[in-house]
């Protein structure tokens, strides 16, 4: 941390908030593309059918809107990163802005590859040579998962920057809690963040492998607590029948996603029970619990509604908010840890 206490810059903070809001919009737009099956509606990139103004009909509407919002997000993050570099006194906040900028560029390239690997033979050949994998579909899924993970990372960084440039963050008094207590909170925060990020990856795998409804009931799985892996119902006369291995894999993926959801819920409930009355951590405990309960409920609604577009999109958006709030909790804890240390040192934080 820098020695000089930073001053509040209201316009920088407002711009960071605007960038975070647009980043949420990008995640929602991306989820809408996936939920409506519009990912292959436009075969070229970065243009759409060779133009910036294609006919906004069918899947093109969702895919091209996603690209437009992605472009706007990239512009805003670029401005924010430059603004932070020029005006922000905290080196680590400036660094976060640069990391967000680099991540959004990589995310855009991955999004383009996700399109071109389907429609462009030369890109397919390069992908096969680089991965040694003859399956274009599996390579595309890996690219898509990386694209989704980076989207969550970019939003978490921008969300954290918006919070850290706020007047509340800059002027709040340190929490009266021991260094041991701060260390415990940090461990909880890191554990929950790791669980949530892993869950987001699992969720992306479930979506992009078509396993979202492979288990048709909830909270049970085929009427049982644990799916009957030795006797899974399979329909060999279906239009696109699954092999026994494919069926087992997708059921295991969906079930792992459910188990992880309840592990996260249990961890967040425990964190809430320990810290919902601790000054300045109460807001995190309450927010994380509310978002986690909402997220589990939306996951259930996905099954009960047959993956309604509305519930699916909200499920993805709330997952991003959960990760962003947990990342901010960790950063807040680091801030308080250093302030506690500063009581015994002339340094300021």
Q: Binning pLDDT at 50, 70 and 90, where does residue 278 land? A: confident
Which pLDDT value is given to residue 1? Answer: 42
Q: Determine the Cα–Cα distance for residues 156 and 150; give it in Å rounded to an integer.
A: 10
Q: Binning pLDDT at 50, 70 and 90, where does residue 130 land? A: low
Distances (CA, A) of 231 to 216, 227, 247, 275: 15, 9, 11, 44
pLDDT at 337 over 90: no
Q: What is the pLDDT of residues 60-72, one digit of tens each?
A: 999 999 999 999 9
Q: Binning pLDDT at 50, 70 and 90, where does residue 134 land? A: low
Indicate the Cα dihedral angle 81, 85, 91, 93, nearest 10°.
Answer: -30
- The residue extents of the domains of the chain are 1-171, 172-349
Pick the range with the lowest mean pLDDT from 15-19, 163-167, 198-202, 233-237.
233-237
If phi > 0 it is left, if psi is from -120 to 50 it is alpha, else beta; for residue 88 that is beta
Q: What is the pLDDT of residues 181-190, one digit of tens each?
A: 677 888 888 9
Contact 154, 160 (CB under 8 A): no
Give 207-276 as a DSSP string.
Answer: HHTT-TTSS-SSSSBTTBSS--GGG----TTSSSPPPHHHHHHHHHHHHHHHHHHHHHHHHHHHHHHHHT
Q: Determine the Cα–Cα distance for residues 118 and 330; give it in Å rounded to an integer.
A: 39
% of the chain with per-residue pLDDT over 90: 56
Exposure class string for 236-246: b at 16+ Cβ within 10 A, else e:
eeeeeebeeee
Contact 183, 340 (CB under 8 A): no
Structure tokens at 245: 């291995």
pTM above 0.85, yes or no: yes
């Amino acid at each position: 941390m820098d020695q000089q206490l930073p001053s509040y810059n209201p316009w920088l903070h407002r711009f960071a908030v605007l960038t975070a809001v647009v980043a949420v919009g990008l995640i929602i737009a991306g989820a809408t593309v996936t939920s409506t099956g519009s990912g292959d509606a436009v075969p070229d990139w970065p243009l759409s059918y060779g133009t910036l103004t294609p006919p906004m009909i069918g899947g093109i509407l969702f895919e091209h809107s996603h690209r437009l919002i992605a472009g706007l997000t990239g512009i805003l993050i670029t401005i924010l990163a430059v603004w932070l570099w020029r005006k922000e006194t905290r080196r680590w906040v400036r660094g976060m802005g640069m990391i967000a900028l680099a991540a959004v560029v990589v995310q855009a390239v991955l999004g383009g590859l996700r399109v071109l690997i389907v429609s462009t033979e030369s890109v397919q050949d390069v992908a096969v040579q680089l991965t040694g994998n003859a399956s274009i579909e599996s390579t595309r899924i890996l690219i898509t998962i990386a694209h989704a993970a980076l989207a969550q990372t970019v939003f978490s960084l921008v969300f954290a920057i918006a919070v850290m440039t706020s007047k509340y963050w800059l002027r709040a008094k340190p929490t009266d809690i021991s260094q041991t207590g701060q260390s415990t909170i940090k461990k909880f925060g890191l554990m929950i963040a790791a669980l949530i990020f892993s869950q987001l990856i699992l969720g992306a795998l479930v979506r992009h492998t078509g396993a979202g409804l492979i288990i048709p009931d909830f909270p049970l799985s085929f009427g049982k607590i644990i799916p009957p892996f030795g006797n899974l119902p399979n329909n060999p006369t279906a239009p696109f029948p699954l092999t026994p291995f494919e069926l087992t894999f997708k059921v295991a993926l969906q079930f792992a996603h459910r188990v992880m959801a309840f592990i996260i819920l249990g961890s967040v409930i425990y964190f809430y029970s320990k810290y919902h009355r601790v000054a300045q951590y109460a807001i995190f405990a309450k927010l994380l619990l509310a978002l986690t309960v909402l997220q589990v409920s939306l996951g259930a609604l996905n099954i009960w509604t047959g993956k309604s577009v509305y519930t699916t999109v909200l499920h993805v958006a709330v997952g991003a908010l959960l990760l962003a709030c947990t990342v901010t909790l960790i950063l807040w804890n680091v801030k308080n840890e250093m302030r506690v240390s500063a009581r015994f040192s002339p340094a300021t934080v």
